[in-house]
């Protein structure tokens, strides 16, 4: 049975070049980058090379790239470190009501520490209420955090427009973008957007797990959360994960090498999947239509069939999808995104996410649609008994 992997927003297969680089660094160039001998210098070269590749993609300076253990750490550092560093300037933090737990949970912590956290509403397709946002942006705002691409339904936030609003209404506030689902899908230039911080995770773009980075502009004042040996300019201590960082750098370079072609391919797969789903009875597609939405995410509710039931039925046929955000699905909690867009309970309990990479094919989409056409009537008959 041929495997069809449609859960790329949860994690991606590591690219051969990235995996080869990780293995080489682990077994040959394994020195500590803080060591003052040749092995240490060789290891440090990989860190500098990865920072250079990432900085080139973002059009920023290498010194503004800080490597982390992943997107969750990058988000926590940007939010908690940013809020605590700027507390004297104000007390208000702006976000949305459909953020990933890696953002919403740190903000919940900050609310417990006395910060005012304001969540901006979204409509039924995930569009941000910009009028409400404009009303909330005032001189007391010290931090704005927005997800570029929603991880569940692929809704896209107008990050450039928000950057303009921020410059006009609260120019001293920090602007953070969670770009974990957007990096490698869009050309992202933080300075053009007006973003001070940007979080990225390596395993979402064919890099190794346990890797990521935070872009932090030189002007952004952020406290370190990890103290120790003073690595990474004293802002993120701890011996660097050199093999992971090296693999991340390779994956980032590959992601932007043929970006336009890769994105066009993923978008064609998404459109084909949505077209096929729209012709099925009892199927509701969530998110923004067409080019408004992200190129790689499809979220759909299959009314009358539980998410996990359908997920496992597809898995029996070698098709892997997600019943929700991989980082929070083990909690069995309601989806924050589907709640924010006002999805009825019957849709929330029957939604699955299919997410593509450049490695997926048209044939895989067609086979998945055919499997759904066969599975759904059987499952619905069984459930009605």
Sorted by where each begins, the domain ranges of the chain are 4-12+259-384, 16-257
Find the mean pLDDT for residues 358-362: 98
pLDDT at 120 > cutoff 60: yes
pLDDT for 330 equals 45
The fold of the 4-12+259-384 domain, in CATH, is 3.90.1150
Find the mean pLDDT for residues 324-353: 80
- CATH architecture for residues 16-257: 3-Layer(aba) Sandwich (3.40)
Within 10 A of 359 (CB to CB), how many other CB atoms are there? 15
Of residues 347 and 334, the one with the higher pLDDT is 347
pLDDT at 221 > cutoff 80: yes
Q: Which pLDDT band, with edges at 50, 70 and 90, does 338 fall under? A: very high
Find the mean pLDDT for residues 220-229: 96
Give pLDDT tens digits for 64-76. 999 999 999 999 9
Contact 193, 148 (CB under 8 A): no
Phi and psi for 360 in degrees, rounded to 5?
Answer: -75, 160
C-alpha span between 312 and 320 (Å, rounded) = 8
Sign of torsion over alpha carbons 179, 248, 192, 73? positive
SS3 sequence of the chain: CCCEECECCCCCCCCHHHHHHHHHHHHCCCCCCCCCCHHHHHHHHHHHHHHHHHHHHHCCCHHHEEEECCHHHHHHHHHHHHHHHCHHHCCEEEEECCCCHHHHHHHHHHHHCCCEEEEECECCCCCECHHHHHHHCCCCEEEEEEECECCCCCCECCHHHHHHHHHHHCCCCEEEEECCCCECCECCCHHHHCCCEEEEEHHHCCCCCCCEEEEECCCCCCCCCCCCCCCHHHCCCCCCCHHHHHHHHHHHHHHHHCHHHHHHHHHHHHHHHHHHHHCCCCEEEECCCHHHCCCCEEEEEECCCCHHHHHHHHHCCCEECECCCCCCHHHCCCCHHHHHCCCCHHHHCCEEEEECCCCCCHHHHHHHHHHHHHHHHHHHHHHHC
Contact 155, 127 (CB under 8 A): yes
pLDDT for 230 equals 95
User: Whole-prediction pTM value?
Assistant: 0.95
Q: Is 170 an annotated catalytic residue?
A: no
CB burial class (10 A; 0-12, 13-18, 19+) of residue 229?
exposed
Q: Which pLDDT band, with edges at 50, 70 and 90, does 382 fall under? A: confident
Find the mean pLDDT for residues 100-108: 97
pLDDT at 385 > cutoff 60: no
Give pLDDT tens digits for 249-303. 999 999 999 999 999 999 999 999 999 999 999 999 999 999 999 999 999 999 9
Q: How does strand 92-96 pair with strand 141-147?
A: parallel
Q: Which pLDDT band, with edges at 50, 70 and 90, does 381 fall under? A: confident
pLDDT for 327 equals 53
Q: How does strand 174-178 pair with strand 141-147?
A: parallel
pLDDT for 127 equals 98
Q: Which pLDDT band, with edges at 50, 70 and 90, does 383 fall under? A: low
Q: Which pLDDT band, with edges at 50, 70 and 90, does 367 fall under? A: very high
Give pLDDT tens digits for 166-181. 999 999 999 999 999 9
Q: Which pLDDT band, with edges at 50, 70 and 90, does 331 fall under? A: very low
Give pLDDT tens digits for 127-139. 999 999 999 999 9
pLDDT at 384 > cutoff 90: no
Contact 100, 155 (CB under 8 A): no
Q: Which residues contact 291 (CB under 8 A, 6 or more apart)?
A: 267
- Tokens 């942006």 -> residue: 137
* Mean pLDDT for all residues in the chain: 95
CB burial class (10 A; 0-12, 13-18, 19+) of residue 260?
exposed
- Percent of the chain clearing pLDDT 70 (strictly above): 97
C-alpha span between 169 and 114 (Å, rounded) = 23
- Tokens 């300019």 -> residue: 233
Task: Tell me whether the CATH fold assigned to 4-12+259-384 matches the one assigned to 16-257.
Answer: no
Q: Which residues contact 86 (CB under 8 A, 6 or more apart)?
A: 142, 143, 174, 221
């Amino acid at each position: 049975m041929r495997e069809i992997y449609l859960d790329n927003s949860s994690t991606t297969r590591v690219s051969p070049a990235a995996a080869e680089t990780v293995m080489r660094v682990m077994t040959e160039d394994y020195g500590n980058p803080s060591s003052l001998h040749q092995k240490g210098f060789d290891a440090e070269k990989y860190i500098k090379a990865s920072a250079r590749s990432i900085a080139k993609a973002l059009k920023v300076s290498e010194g503004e790239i800080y490597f982390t253990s992943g997107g969750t750490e990058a988000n926590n550092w940007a939010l908690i470190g940013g809020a605590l560093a700027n507390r004297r300037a104000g007390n208000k933090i702006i976000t949305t009501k459909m953020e990933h737990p890696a953002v919403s949970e740190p903000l919940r912590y900050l609310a417990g520490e006395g910060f005012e956290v304001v969540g901006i509403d979204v409509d039924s397709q995930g569009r941000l209420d910009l009028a409400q946002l404009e009303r909330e942006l005032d001189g007391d705002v010290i931090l704005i955090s927005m997800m570029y691409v929603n991880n569940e339904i692929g809704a896209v936030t107008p990050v450039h427009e928000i950057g303009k609003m921020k410059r006009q209404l609260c120019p001293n506030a920090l602007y953070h973008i969670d770009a974990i689902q957007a990096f490698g899908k869009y050309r992202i230039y933080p300075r053009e957007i007006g973003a001070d911080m940007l979080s990225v995770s390596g395993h979402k773009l064919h890099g190794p797990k346990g890797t990521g980075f935070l872009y932090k502009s030189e002007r952004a004042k952020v406290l370190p959360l990890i103290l120790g040996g003073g690595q990474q300019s004293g802002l993120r201590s701890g011996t660097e994960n050199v093999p992971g960082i090296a693999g991340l750098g390779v994956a980032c370079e590959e992601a932007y090498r043929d970006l336009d072609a890769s994105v066009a391919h993923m978008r064609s797969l998404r459109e084909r999947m949505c077209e096929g789903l729209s012709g099925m009875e009892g199927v509701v597609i969530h998110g923004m239509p067409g080019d408004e939405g992200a190129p790689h995410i499809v979220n759909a509710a299959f009314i009358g069939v539980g998410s996990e039931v359908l997920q496992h039925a597809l898995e029996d046929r070698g098709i892997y999808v997600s019943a929700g955000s991989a980082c929070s699905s083990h909690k069995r909690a309601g989806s924050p995104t589907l709640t924010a867009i006002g999805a009825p309970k019957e849709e929330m309990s029957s939604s699955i996410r299919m997410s593509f990479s450049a490695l997926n094919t048209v044939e895989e989409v067609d086979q998945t649609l055919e499997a759904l056409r066969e599975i759904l009537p059987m499952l619905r008959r069984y459930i009605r008994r």
